[in-house]
Structure 1
Amino acid sequence: MNTPPPTPQYLVRTGDPLRDRDTVLSIWWGNLGREDRIAAKYDWFYLAGPHGAPLLQLLQETGSGQYVGTACAGRRRMCRGGQSLQAGVLVDLAVLPEHRSLGPALMLQQGLIEAADREIDVLYGFPNPKAAPVFKRIGYTHLTDLVRHARVLRHAAYLKSRLPGVLAAIAGPLVDMAFATRDGLRRLRGPRLRASWGTAADARMDALWQSAPRGDAVMSVRDCKQAKWRFDDSPLASTRYLWLTAPGSDALVAWFAVQVENAALHVRDFWSKDGGNGMSHACLLALLSAARAAGHASVSVEITGPEQQLRGWQQAGFVPRSKRPIFVRWSRGQTPDANWFFTSADEDE
């Protein structure tokens, strides 16, 4: 009778991002992300982060000594009102196929929790729905969802699913013109804003971040340093900025960090003089006008936050399309009740 092989045993070890680079990449290869960019992503996110080395955990199979899994929490600066918070975003859980079971994944996540309890205030992550039970099991709370809102600017493709092709082709530009005219009239009734495009983070972002009210929501710091690392230095996507200023002034009223996919303009992050009180209707109409002028078919944003943060987007015609859960775990026994303000910039890519 054949004796079954022994059940693998594992240890979780604290990793060093510089020393263990090759080990982590060997686990990622073929298992996590696009192979043509994983090395560049590692060097940017793990080695060049402006807030210190991420919390890295490695899973070792004790019998062979082979490292078979990895997980990480990247450091982020957050705040709540006037209080600074050290946060960690959960990223890059990867386990080699022959070791994929609930036990190893739980061990890696528990290792991150123990490291976080020593060093940071809060962990958060965006797990896929299948992983949600695991996060609940180890003490995370599903506090909110990251909701994608979209506004259609070119309606022909949208109307093709509802009208015959010829009618959609005729009606589309007419509908486009009607909405553009309505938005233009609304802009005339509001404060005048000047829009310009940029390709790099700007020091004016610091003054806007410092002067705008933040409310009581937990949010990431949105200054020039953060934007430069998160967007300008990232090897994963190309980002532009839309700057909004008042006539005769160079000071920022608002900014949007945007990325283009096909004909869609995706707002990845933003901030305005209204801060935690939401984005004004005038700023969003200026965004839509700039997007139309650039030829985009739609504008979207992923956001969660207090009702006042969402209200402006909804009033500007943005409609909820889909949502993803966000799980949060406070360290050192903290369980404060809080509102959360997230955008897709709060992820790792």
Structure 2
Amino acid sequence: MAIVIRDAELKRDRQVMMDCLLRNRQRYEKNDTFEQRFDWAYSGNPYGEGRAWLAVDEAANKVIGFTSAFPRRMFVNGECMIGWNCADFSIDKEYRTLGAAMKLRRAAKLCVDRGEFAFLYAHPNDRMRVVHEKVGHHAIGKMVRYAALLRLDQTLGAKLGNNPVAKVSAALANPLLRLMSPRRSGLDKFQFSLAQEQRFGEEYDRLFEKVKHQHSVIGSRDTEYLNWRFLRNPLYRAKSLRMQQDGELKGYVLYYEGNGIARVADAIVEGKSDEIGILLAGLIHHL
């Protein structure tokens, strides 16, 4: 069967792309929430609309998969440019061969080769690693996930059942767990506060103007991006842990909660490894 790739037109092809996502991906969100996410991500991005490519089975005349990329303002060695972040990738099960996946990913990469995109990047994904490598992507860094156990309610509930014994055990164990957690030195140099921001203010812009010079490559965290990415996101609304010194914002963690888990969505700090450690220790202390 011949699979051809064509550029998507977001308004015209929105429904076939949504249908492809919904039938191929298991998500916890309701369908209407996931559709809101589609419009937010593809059309609401402050840096411009997303791009997408459709895989079409010519014989059946149907869309069997697609991939997309979203624009992101980046600073590379201090120079501002628009990079493109590889985003949704969805293919119907009966067409999941290396060939179809490579055709889709290559369509996005060709935009870089033709000079339409400054560069294209993707987050680590073991299932896509072979595809990325075969079309010419190269690993440039490592992403490591960390977890910290803050309370034992869920763990004991899973082992003992949802009963009074588990609840009493958790009530006794949680303070001990907190005492056993290592305390990071330097916490007393900063003031920490939890906030549900209604709008990210100018202090976030001022912080990023300082932080962007600490990194050779960094994605913009200006308030335009932060308000869109973390406050208008239909999947979750992030909370902020602010780290201040003498009334000046020195760093922050953006996180969201669900099912007893707090997930860090972004973190930025003025300084280096010691300061990021203090920032994350502050989050653990305040949760």
Tell me whether the two structures share a fold, i.e. TM-score over 0.5: yes
Task: Give the number of the structure whose residues are more often strand, by fraction.
Answer: 1
Q: Once superposed, what is the RMSD of the aligned Cα atoms?
A: 3.0
Aligned residue for 1:154? Answer: 151
How many pairs were matched up? 276
Aligned residue for 2:97? Answer: 101
Q: Give how far 1:264 is off.
A: 2.4
Deviates more, 1:149-158 or 1:40-49: 149-158
Aligned residue for 1:336? Answer: none
Aligned residue for 2:220? Answer: 221
Q: Residues 239, 156 of structure 1: CA spacing in aligned structure 2 closer, same or farther, 3 A cutoff?
A: closer
CA distance in 2, matches of 1:159, 1:15: 49
Kept in 2, the 8 Å contact 1:10–1:59? The answer is: yes
Aligned residue for 1:230? Answer: 229
Task: Give the number of the structure whose residues are more often helix, by fraction.
Answer: 2
Aligned residue for 2:262? Answer: 265
Q: Summarize the alignment of residues 84-233 of structure 1 with structure 2, pairs less than 5 Å apart.
A: 84-117=80-113, 118-126=115-123, 128-154=125-151, 172-173=173-174, 175-179=176-180, 183=183, 186=185, 190-203=188-201, 204-212=203-211, 214-233=213-232
Asked if residue 25 in structure 1 is aligned to residue 18 in structure 2, the reply is yes
Return the match for 1:16 from 9, 28, 37: 9
Identity percentage over the alignment? 21
Aligned residue for 2:161? Answer: none
2:196 partner letter: G
Kept in 2, the 8 Å contact 1:198–1:243? The answer is: no
Partner of 1:149: helix, strand, or coil?
Answer: coil
2:10 partner letter: P
Q: Residues 93, 282 of structure 1: CA spacing in aligned structure 2 closer, same or farther, 3 A cutoff?
A: closer
- Larger RCO (CA under 8 A, 6+ residues apart): 1
CA distance in 1, matches of 2:174, 2:19: 51
1:55-103 deviation digits (Å, cap 9, x = unpaired): 2111222234322221101111111231223222212212233333222
CA distance in 1, matches of 2:217, 2:274: 14
Residue segments in structure 1 that go unaligned for 5+ positions in a row? 1-7, 292-349
1:185-232 deviation digits (Å, cap 9, x = unpaired): x457x3141413123341221011012353343221112111111111
CA distance in 1, matches of 2:63, 2:233: 28
Q: Residues 98, 261 of structure 1: CA spacing in aligned structure 2 closer, same or farther, 3 A cutoff?
A: same
Kept in 2, the 8 Å contact 1:12–1:58? The answer is: yes
Q: Residues 282, 133 of structure 1: CA spacing in aligned structure 2 closer, same or farther, 3 A cutoff?
A: closer
Q: Summarize the alignment of residues 270-285 of structure 1 with structure 2, pairs less than 5 Å apart.
A: 270-274=267-271, 279-285=275-281
Q: Residues 240, 169 of structure 1: CA spacing in aligned structure 2 closer, same or farther, 3 A cutoff?
A: closer
1:176 partner letter: L
Q: TM-score, normalised by structure 1?
A: 0.69
Q: Residues 93, 196 of structure 1: CA spacing in aligned structure 2 closer, same or farther, 3 A cutoff?
A: closer
Partner of 1:18: helix, strand, or coil?
Answer: helix
